[in-house]
Amino acid sequence: MDATPAEVPLRHEPFARRGLGTFLRDSWRLSGQALELVRRTPALTRLLAAGALFLALLLDAFAVTGALLSEGLEIEITTTLAAVELWFLAWISTSLSIGVAGIADRALRGESPSVADGLRLARARAGLAAAWAVVLVLVSIPARLVTRWTVDQLGAVLVGFTWNLLSFFAIPAIALDGARPLAAAKRSLRIAAQVWGQTAAGVVSTWLRALLVLGLPGLACVIAGTAIIDGGADIAGWPLLLAGLALIGAAILLGMASTAILSVAIYRYAESGVAPGPFAAEDLGGAGRRPWQPVVWLCSKVEGERVRRMRAWVAEHARS
């Protein structure tokens, strides 16, 4: 389906306006619910870990190939090759995200999905993933080619027109409903507007618990291990350094998995009005957040005509 059913009253005020304490408290609760589902769905972290390893190997291969081929090539050819490599990496990354979204959707329905289920969905959506990768490459072009790198860019990033919010629901739309890139982008705008109104610029942080429980201790281990190695005690320092890197890697994987679960949960909630899995409707409805109010005030004072037109376009397509 292409829009939220009109009879489902989903709109909520973004909760971040109630203060940082509320944001952190709700982030902690929602991230805990998502991580509990991740714990019961090992296929999520397995697919993410395998995909991250594959992407790392691709990056290394492209770096070596680029170094070998850069000698003697024209700048136009080098730029074209870089764009193709960027598109290929975006395609693989999007395919990985589609597979993860499929696994998350089945987990929210109470099933026990496997890595193979995610890979099958990723293969079925390979063409759509390739098309979305083109969008990602185009978006990655420096913003100064599109608009002035001045207060216009500040306003575009900080007031409502956020790429992260747009792409947050695009992957579930592509993965679960087979939406084409333009339809997925429009659906993302509609979901954000219908669930939270047009003032939301982002969503609750599902990285909070993984970051505090694993990421910060991992960073402390890395710092301590590096200091011990610099002091000459390699035997004691290297295990601590490697353990810290492993903790940081685990925090990243768990944060990505919990974010995928939350995006699919809100997407399903916007479709049916029923909160899936362990989530409550009020939590999903309150997961949107506004920019910090002083930032909104500042940007409203300095934003340029381009940003005003972009915001009007977003509001129009969110209502359509």
At 76-117, the pLDDT tens digits run: 566 677 778 888 888 998 999 999 999 999 999 989 999 999
pLDDT, one tens digit per residue, over 171-218 is 999 999 999 988 888 888 777 777 776 556 667 778 888 888 889 999
pLDDT of residue 2: 43
Q: Using the CB atoms, write b or e for 151-173: b if 16+ within 10 Å.
A: ebbbbbbbbbbbeebbbbbbbbb
Span 272-282, average pLDDT:
85
Asked if the structure places residue 120 within a domain, the reply is yes
Asked if the structure places residue 123 within a domain, the reply is yes
Beta strands in 167-239, from DSSP E residues, in sequence order: 202-203
Domain count, the chain: 1
Span 4-18, average pLDDT:
49
Asked if the structure places residue 7 within a domain, the reply is no
What global pTM score does this model have? 0.77
Binned at pLDDT 50, 70 and 90, residue 289 comes out as confident
Which token pair is 277? 């899995």
Higher pLDDT, 96 or 236: 96
Q: In which domain, by residue range, is 113 found? A: 15-319
Asked if the structure places residue 5 within a domain, the reply is no
pLDDT, one tens digit per residue, over 153-175 is 455 454 444 566 677 788 999 99
pLDDT of residue 318: 54
pLDDT of residue 6: 39
